[in-house]
Amino acid sequence: MDEIDIAGIPVPDAGPLFLTVLTVHIAAGLTCVTCGAVAVASRKGAARHRRFGRIYLWALGVVFASMTVLSVIRWSHNAHLFVIGTVAFALALVGYLGRRRRPYLHIAGLGGSYIALLTGFYVDNGPHLPGWDRLPAWALWILPSLLGLPVIARAIGRRLPAKRATS
């Protein structure tokens, strides 16, 4: 299969459907990265957090749908990305459903989905990105988790009720 070069990243030339869906996928992915970061940085419960969180969830739905199409077209190359994308979307749904009654599920689910989203991006594109191209392949798989899990743990710790000292 031929490849085309877009901004230094080789893209499979798998036909017009693939390239069209890939364009939608990239736009939705960039929306996820941006809106997820804004939601994390916003005061929890504020209108801005909720608004950007909803946009993140909808954009992640588009990423999941487009990733499914891309994976069907190139299954042998994208099966692992399909698994990562499925995990990201499932975690986001768990986080969304837990937003009111179980804030720790909200934080863990949506935070985990953001980590999975970034993992999929770096696993697929990291070998072609400046700086990231010098890392071993295993680092592309675990660095998002190494950076994101402590942030999630801290956020959950802040939301859990304080333990009372026993006398």
- Model confidence over 51-101: pLDDT tens digits? 999 999 999 999 999 999 999 998 988 899 999 999 999 999 999 998 888
C-beta of residue 35 within 8 angstroms of C-beta of residue 52: yes
Is the pLDDT score of 165 beyond 70?
no
Q: What is the pTM of this model?
A: 0.88
Asked if the model's pLDDT at residue 36 lies above 70, the reply is yes
pLDDT of residue 1: 60
Q: How confident is the model at residue 45 (pLDDT cuts 50, 70, 90)?
A: confident
Task: Please tell me the distance from the alpha carbon of residue 60 to that of residue 155, in angstroms, as a whole number.
Answer: 22
The per-residue DSSP string of 5-37 comes to EETTEEEE---HHHHHHHHHHHHHHHHHHHHHH
Q: Which pLDDT belongs to residue 17? A: 92
